[in-house]
Structure 1
Amino acid sequence: MWFIDQAALKRPIYLSLADQISRAIVDGRLANGVRLPPHRVLADSLGLSVQTVSRAYDELIRRGMLSGETGRGTFVRKEEPDGSLPYIPERLGEVIDLSILKPVCEAMHIDRMKAALATLAVDLPASAVLSFRPNMIFPRHRAVAADWLRGNGLSVAPSHICLTNGATAGMTIALMSIATPGSTIATEAIGHHTLVPLASYLGLKLAGLEIDEEGILPAALDAACRNEVVRGVFVQPSVINPMATLMSAARREALVEVARRHDIAIIENDPLGALIEDRPPPIAAFAPERTLYVTSFTKTVLPGLRTGYLAVPDRLLSAVTNRHLVTNWVATPMIAELATRWVVDGTASDLVRWQRAALRKRQAIAARILQGTPFRAHREGLHVWLPLASRAAEDLFVAQARLRGVAVAPGHSFQTGAASQPAVRLSIGSTSETELETGLAVIANLYHSNPEPLLLAI
């Protein structure tokens, strides 16, 4: 027999019901493996339609919290799915979505893209739609990419730049180029959420290393390299990491020294690039002989501009070229053409400067509303990191926030090593400024309150 707080159900009813069940699961009152009531039984007991209950169950299956077994029923999952997403895969109902990391976007961005597409239609290069050979398509693009990277603090020859379909493609190619299945890659204990499933798919092991307010501790990397065969280290030194830390030049040099001592490769994920003003030079500038540098335009210029650059050291150029050919063949030529034009005519730089100003304004809003909480942020970052007391508190916080109409990213989604401090990540660019203020106010009130648990039992 279920005891659900029917008075707390609000529209959309199926989502509110799903959140109550979710709360019971993360709270431990619905144990792993428990069989839930059949759709019709629960619907009749609550006075709801079978369709509403079915949609609630389907929502929980999408979240990875339930599993449906044909002929047997619906069960609480016995374990969390690998690589669980930190963000909601779609916006359902009236939800203020602070879960997905996005830049601030306005109508101006759409207008810029419309104008660029109109121009492209007039003088589209034949190679962008007719050629199969990367070397026939991208020589001009690589030269422009070298200029863009120089503005990011990195000097690299055009021949050593691989155009990719964004940072994720660059990460994949880089990992495949430095490590074989069974190898170990070191990274931050709280790091890139995509890295966990990606490493699993590639057959790689991750060693999540101890971090501080600047990122990976060089001593931790040294110890890992002494204890096992580490093929490389994956780092996010410039604010994109969940804890919004900016690694100093001294720390970057110290990591490079350890990497050289043990002769390991470095993958530097830097999708924010020039957005972070007055940052130290990229790690690749300190160790160009062993660093694969990944950047893109989706987080700084426009989400739909899904193209990026992978700067490659000489000794890995052949490996990267071959891995890129077998996984992507080429970056999408017309998107690359748009990015190249925007770099040349200054649009890309203009939009980066606009984004920097917009984020500073929103970070000021977050600092005002979250005053009195131990949040971490950078004035030009895309998110805020809010530590919590325990994993149970984290799960409860996420569920309670969602029930109040705000989606946030749970900190454990970014965990790559041993249990780390629980937290939630709050994106500040993913919604309108008005919704951001409302959502952050909900988060602040929830943090400072001690809400009564939802009534749900069996």
Structure 2
Amino acid sequence: MKARYKAIVDRYAQQIRSATLTAGTRLPTHRTLAAREHISLATATRVYAELEKMGLVSGETGRGTFVREILLPSGLGIDQQAVATDVLDLNFNYPALPGQGELLREALRQIAGVGDIESHLRYQPHAGRQTEREIVAAHLSGPHFQPSADNLLIVNGAQHGLTIALMGLLRPGDVVAVDALTYPGFKALAALYHLELVAIPATPTGPDLDALRQICQRRHVRAIYTMPTLHNPLGWVLDRNQRQALANIARQHDLLIVEDTAYSWLIRRPPPPVASQAPERTVYVTGFSKNVATGLRVGAVVCPPALRPALERAIRATTWNTPSVMTAMVCHWIQDGTVARFETLKRRDARQRQRVLNTVMEDLPCITHPNSYFAWLPLADEARADRVVKALMDNNISVSTAEPFSTSGTVPQAIRVALGSVPVETLRHALQQVRAAIELEQSR
């Protein structure tokens, strides 16, 4: 009966959060629900009680049970929204370092004082200026990956890079293989461009590549979206063999690979990117939002030469070009070593925050990486992530459930915690409240 009861609660919760059941909708009476679902009246009452505890419905004496106007948006807060000043944001990562504001002020002075200042008032080449593409290409180069400036396009952040990849290279109805838990921003783009996502089951160390092979045999998969270096939200880093196996599968089934490396800089010496294993079919996407600042919307896409025209058309159709002032500033910081210093300091900061996480969570299940700015907290079988999120929001702490990350039919009961957006001295207190909310929920 527990499994049946949970399924009913999950179904109603999903329908309310997705607005299939809109605010103000009157739900069936307890007796009607019991008859419809073939459950006891007591179980029907329990279903509504659980939904009310989640803050999704309200019971009104003599009138019935109604869907509430929920305060949290669909996805329980994963969609960016204004966060009240008294809310501790453990939902989004926007790591910052002391003194970055003054560095920004100085960089703007230097841009204003040298070069052709009026050039920033004119349209730029769609893929970015040649000199700046060369600077970014050199920054991304390593022993096994030396992108050419001719195959690099400067974009408005990594999210824009993903946008032009999907817009320029895929068509509505195309099937894309993704991890069963993946970046919500990619899910949003897939919905916008009417792509079908097929979930790849996860193992403790990465996607189940045998399952991916089987998916490709059953379905006409067009592309795969992957985060091989510091996966969001599970924190894995695929080893060389896994990357080579992924490249082999892509070649065998003629898949486009979209490689998202937004957090790869947090790993000091990561394995070579998948783009180095399959350069002829990989679109490599990165950005400077997390390692420099989220407000600086500058990113880069490295692609096979044959795909560049389609990607450049997508840039022209969406933003025309990256704002040149921000691009010039990022390139200046690359050349003078500021970006490298930021990355070193933020890697150190992430490790410090992980130590705080480990101290507070101790024996609670926790999936993460020592260099990561986030953590995945699975809950016990009977626990409800919705209630944990609501209890924490009532105490001015924002976290996310698994729902925004899930691409499979079954949404796990888990909490995703971002560690990079509050001061370290505040983080410990916030995580202690997260732990307390989880323990209270699991003791029910």
Please indicate, yes or no, whether the TM-score normalized by the shorter chain is above 0.5: yes
Please give the alpha-carbon distance, in whole angstroms, between the structure 1 residues aligned to 2:159 and 2:90: 21
AA paired with 1:330? N
1:184 aligns with 2:175: yes
State which of 162, 172, 185 in structure 1 corresponds to 2:153: 162
State which of 73, 83, 91 in structure 2 corresponds to 1:91: 83
* Contact 1:394 1:422 survives alignment (8 Å): yes
Cα–Cα, structure 1 residues 391 and 121, in superposed 2: closer, same or farther, change >3 Å? farther
**Equivalent residue runs for 1:284-295 within 5 Å:** 284-295=275-286
AA paired with 1:347? T
Please give the alpha-carbon distance, in whole angstroms, between the structure 1 residues aligned to 2:74 and 2:398: 20
Cα–Cα, structure 1 residues 27 and 261, in superposed 2: closer, same or farther, change >3 Å? closer
State which of 131, 148, 165 in structure 2 corresponds to 1:174: 165
The alpha carbon displacement at 1:245 in A equals: 1.2
Corresponding residue for residue 349 of structure 1: 340
1:401 aligns with 2:395: no
1:100 aligns with 2:92: yes
Corresponding residue for residue 435 of structure 1: 426
Q: Which shows bigger deviation, 158-167 or 196-205?
A: 196-205
**Equivalent residue runs for 1:229-308 within 5 Å:** 229-308=220-299
**Percent of matched pairs sharing the same residue:** 26
**Equivalent residue runs for 1:383-394 within 5 Å:** 383-390=374-381, 393-394=384-385
The alpha carbon displacement at 1:117 in A equals: 1.1
* Contact 1:214 1:245 survives alignment (8 Å): yes
Cα–Cα, structure 1 residues 155 and 127, in superposed 2: closer, same or farther, change >3 Å? farther
Corresponding residue for residue 215 of structure 2: 224
AA paired with 2:261? D
1:310 aligns with 2:304: no
The alpha carbon displacement at 1:420 in A equals: 4.1
Cα–Cα, structure 1 residues 403 and 285, in superposed 2: closer, same or farther, change >3 Å? same
* Contact 2:24 2:69 survives alignment (8 Å): no
Corresponding residue for residue 206 of structure 1: 197
Please give the alpha-carbon distance, in whole angstroms, between the structure 1 residues aligned to 2:196 and 2:382: 24
Please give the alpha-carbon distance, in whole angstroms, between the structure 1 residues aligned to 2:217 and 2:307: 24
Q: What do residues 323-373 of structure 1 show as CA deviations (whole Å, max 9, x unaligned)?
A: 111112111111111111111111111111111111111111111111111
The alpha carbon displacement at 1:137 in A equals: 5.4
Cα–Cα, structure 1 residues 443 and 136, in superposed 2: closer, same or farther, change >3 Å? closer
Cα–Cα, structure 1 residues 136 and 284, in superposed 2: closer, same or farther, change >3 Å? closer
Runs of 4+ with >6 A deviation: 27-31, 63-66, 80-84
Corresponding residue for residue 46 of structure 2: none
Q: Between Structure 1 and Structure 2, how many residues are aligned?
A: 395
State which of 350, 353, 362 in structure 2 corresponds to 1:362: 353
Please give the alpha-carbon distance, in whole angstroms, between the structure 2 residues aligned to 1:277 and 1:153: 15
* Contact 2:73 2:79 survives alignment (8 Å): no
State which of 120, 124, 130 in structure 1 corresponds to 2:111: 120
* Contact 1:207 1:417 survives alignment (8 Å): yes
Please give the alpha-carbon distance, in whole angstroms, between the structure 1 residues aligned to 2:264 and 2:281: 19
The alpha carbon displacement at 1:130 in A equals: 3.5
* Contact 1:301 1:355 survives alignment (8 Å): no
Please give the alpha-carbon distance, in whole angstroms, between the structure 2 residues aligned to 1:389 and 1:426: 17
Please give the alpha-carbon distance, in whole angstroms, between the structure 1 residues aligned to 2:75 and 2:316: 26
Q: What do residues 109-143 of structure 1 show as CA deviations (whole Å, max 9, x unaligned)?
A: 11211111121121253464233240795100111
The alpha carbon displacement at 1:317 in A equals: 1.4
Cα–Cα, structure 1 residues 389 and 242, in superposed 2: closer, same or farther, change >3 Å? same
The alpha carbon displacement at 1:422 in A equals: 2.0
Corresponding residue for residue 61 of structure 2: none
* Contact 1:189 1:420 survives alignment (8 Å): no
* Contact 1:164 1:310 survives alignment (8 Å): yes
Question: Structure 1 length as normaliser, TM-score?
Answer: 0.79
Please give the alpha-carbon distance, in whole angstroms, between the structure 1 residues aligned to 2:362 and 2:143: 33
* Contact 2:383 2:441 survives alignment (8 Å): no
Q: Which shows bigger deviation, 440-449 or 201-210?
A: 440-449
* Contact 1:208 1:417 survives alignment (8 Å): yes
Structure with the greater relative contact order (CA < 8 A, sep ≥ 6): 1 or 2?
1
* Contact 2:127 2:152 survives alignment (8 Å): no
1:417 aligns with 2:408: yes
AA paired with 1:94? D
3-state SS of the aligned residue for 2:199?
Answer: strand
Question: Structure 2 length as normaliser, TM-score?
Answer: 0.82
* Contact 1:152 1:274 survives alignment (8 Å): no
AA paired with 1:252? R
